[in-house]
Each structure stands twice: as structure tokens, then as C-alpha cells.
Amino acid sequence: MAGRSRHTGAVARALRVLSAVALGTATAVIDLVFVLATLPFARRPGVRRAARGLAVLEARRLGLDPAALGLGADPADGRHARYLAARAPVGVLGGLVLLLLVWGAGAALILLAGWGRGLPVDGMLPSAPLIAYAVVGGLVLLFLDLSGLAGVYAVERGLAARMLGPDPTEALRRRIEELAESRAGVLAAVDAERRRIERDLHDGLQQRLVALSMLIGRARRGRPELFEQAHEQAQQALAELREVAWRVYPSGLDSLGLADALAGVAERSEVPVKVVCELSRRPPMAVETASYFVVSEAVTNAAKHAGATAVTVEVGERDTMIVVRIEDDGTGGADPGGGGLSGLARRVAALDGTFTVTSPAGGPTTIVAELPCA
């Protein structure tokens, strides 16, 4: 099954390249006509917006993300028009390679049709040396043609990334800003988590230990029946301490793995939780930890604030990403900017992941975290 899946994926990629190059042949003519026709008006905002629109279409044709190339904003220079002019010859080259492929396929069909019926083709009757020559020559030409198509596609993508993408210095500056922002976010999330742990200890465990101390003191003054209550209080204090410890870091995550740790979250939850964890290999520890806390916080919020009666947790893989999806049937209206969810977003962003919250009024609430695992 895995081999068949790989073959299917390879065929799909080949068809995608073929269709992209074929479509690029047609758009190359359109791009060239546009550049020549608008050359006297190249500085006008309307022309620049139109050039950006064509550049967006070209990026999508090549499977590139227009937003990642910086094509979302209004153009401030003529780089889009320059790109359209530069890619036109490459598109024409792709058309010539495709024409050669079609010509070769037609020649092969003519040979097969004629020689299959024993008829001469261009005055040549089939013979073993001639058939061998035709087969070897055809395979070599097919290899060169397919290599040419792949080369044109690669040149097109490289040209788009170079001419449409941000300047390397600008990209580096943006990356530094993103890292500084994510670092500040992580520090804020750590401080918020520390404050929450302090509240849990002060408002929960500390109060219970005070009550336990008072019960033991009264029991020592001649009321032995209070020892049973003291024992119950001690058990509850131990359970709360264990819960706080798990919030700090789930000790079972190291030894048991993500699937078993999430099963523990489901067992401790106040509402039924269905966990589906399908991973072919164990992700890095940082990704496991972030995934665990995303699920734990989402399940806690669903039980405490959303009035949910059921939660579904799905953890799977997509390409090089670990995708964590949590959905509950609660009332919705979750605020992505709230303390808990914003802390999770910063934790995920620190790993170059994405974090989205969809929570319309009336529900359901869906939280999706995508974490790079490469």
C-alpha cells in the first residue's frame, strides 16, 4: 500500500508539472502582451495592480503561496511587471518543449500504426535493428523531454521566488523580528503559567492543607473520629498536588509518549474525551510537549467554560507537520486573545507553528495547531 501511494503521488506531481508548464505557455503570451501594451503607463497604480494580479495567478500556477512572496499588499515598485517580462521567454521555452513532446508522441504513434500492420513508414519496413534504434532513440528523446519540462518548471519557480519574494536582507530582518516577538511571547506565557500555578497552590492546595492541619489538631484534642476526615483531606490534597505537577510538566510524557499522555488527559477530564492519535514515529520532545499542552488546555476550557458534553482530539501527520485538532460541542464564543489560548498560540509560534481558533457563537469550538516536525 505504501509503494502504491508513493507511485500515485509521483504520477500526481508529474501531472501537476505538466499542467503548470502547459498553462504557463499560454500565460507567457498574455504576460508579454500585457507588458508591451502597458509599458508607457507602467508607473500608474492601476497598471501595477493589474501586474500584481497576473503575478498572483502565476504564483498559484506554480504552487507557490502568494502571501509568502509578499503579493498581498499593493505594489510599491515595478517588480511584478519585471517578473512578467522575465518569465515570458521561459514560458515560451516550456511551450517548445511541450511541442517537441507532442511531436515525438505523434511520430511514435505513426510508427506503431504503420509497422503494426507491416506497412513501410517513410519507405522503411520494420526490422530488428530499425525497431531497436527507434525504441532507444525514442526513450532517450522522451527522457530529455521530461527533463526539459522539469527544468522549465524549476526555473519558473526559482524565478518567481527570486523576483517576487522579499529581499534577502528584508527577509532576515523580518525573521529577526518574528523571533524576538516569539521570544517575548514565550516569556509572557511562562510568566502567566507561573502565576496560574501560584494561584492553584494558594487557592487550592494551600487551603486544603490548612484545613487538614486544623482537623488533625482537633483530633489530637480528643476527637479521634476526625482522623477519617483528615485522611480524606490528605488524599484530596495529594490529588490536587499531582494535578498541579502535571500542569507544570507531564512526567509520563517522557516514558509513555504522546498518545498515552493524551489518554491520561481524557481520563482526568470532567467530560468524555475521544482521542485519536495516529503518528508513524515519535515527534521531537518540544513538539510533543507543545501538542500535549494544547490538548490539555483545550479540554480544560471545554469542560470549565464552554459547557461541552463531548470533546474529540485528533493528532496526525501531514507532510512534515504534526496536526493537532480539538473540537468540542460547547457553546462557542472562545476568545483567542484570552490568557490560556493566547499562551498556547505563543508556545506554538515559538516552534514556527500555526495556531487557529474557530469558535462561533453557539459552537462548536475547533482548535487546530500545526507544528513542524522536520
pLDDT at residue 5 greater than cutoff 60: no
CATH number at 372 reads 3.30.565.10
Q: What is the spatial distance between Cα 148 and Cα 262, in angstroms, rounded to a whole number? A: 49
Average of per-residue pLDDT values in the chain:
80
- How sure is the predictor about 332, in pLDDT bands with cuts at 50, 70 and 90? confident
Instruction: Convert the pLDDT of each residue in 85-140 to its tens digit.
Output: 999 999 999 999 999 999 988 888 888 888 877 777 777 787 888 888 888 988 89
Whether residue 27 sits in one domain with residue 127: yes
3-state secondary structure of 315: strand
Give which of 56, 64, 61, 67 is closest to 94, Cα–Cα. Answer: 61
Quote the pLDDT of residue 93: 92
Quote the pLDDT of residue 99: 92
Whether residue 225 sits in one domain with residue 263: no
For the record, the C-alpha cell of 265 comes out as 488527559
pLDDT at residue 326 greater than cutoff 90: yes
Q: What is the spatial distance between Cα 87 and Cα 294, in angstroms, rounded to a whole number? A: 44
Instruction: Convert the pLDDT of each residue in 189-242 to its tens digit.
Output: 665 666 666 666 666 666 666 676 676 766 666 666 666 676 676 767 666 666
Span 162-186, mean pLDDT? 72
Whether residue 198 sits in one domain with residue 84: no
Taking a C-beta distance cutoff of 8 angstroms, is the pair 31, 88 a contact? yes
Whether residue 91 sits in one domain with residue 205: no
Q: Which domain holds residue 271?
A: 256-374
Quote the pLDDT of residue 153: 92
Quote the pLDDT of residue 203: 64
Whether residue 233 sits in one domain with residue 146: no
Whether residue 10 sits in one domain with residue 38: yes
Give which of 310, 312, 307, 313 is closest to 362, Cα–Cα. Answer: 307
For the record, the C-alpha cell of 373 comes out as 516536525
Taking a C-beta distance cutoff of 8 angstroms, is the pair 262, 295 a contact? yes
| Residue 365, beta-bridge partner list | 328
Span 285-304, mean pLDDT? 86
Q: What is the spatial distance between Cα 249 and Cα 254, in angstroms, rounded to a whole number? A: 10
Q: What is the spatial distance between Cα 293 and Cα 274, in angstroms, rounded to a whole number? A: 16
Pairing relationship of beta strands 354-358 and 311-318 according to DSSP bridges: unpaired
Name the domain boundary from 133, 165, 197. 165
pLDDT at residue 2 greater than cutoff 50: no
Overall number of domains in the chain: 3
Span 276-282, mean pLDDT? 87
Whether residue 68 sits in one domain with residue 26: yes
Name the domain boundary from 134, 165, 196. 165
Give which of 370, 265, 271, 274 is closest to 330, Cα–Cα. Answer: 271
Whether residue 266 sits in one domain with residue 205: no
Name the domain boundary from 135, 165, 195. 165
Can you say whether the dihedral through the CA atoms of 162, 164, 170, 176 is positive or negative?
negative
Pairing relationship of beta strands 365-372 and 321-328 according to DSSP bridges: antiparallel
Whether residue 343 sits in one domain with residue 207: no
Q: What is the spatial distance between Cα 369 and Cα 290, in angstroms, rounded to a whole number? A: 9
Whether residue 138 sits in one domain with residue 12: yes
Q: What count of Cα atoms within 13 Å lies in the side-chain half-sphere of residue 313?
A: 27
Whether residue 346 sits in one domain with residue 231: no
Quote the pLDDT of residue 343: 78
Cβ neighbours of residue 334 closer than 8 Å, sequence gap 6 or more: 301, 305, 306, 341, 357, 359, 365
Quote the pLDDT of residue 152: 93
Quote the pLDDT of residue 188: 61
Whether residue 187 sits in one domain with residue 65: no
| Residue 224, beta-bridge partner list | none
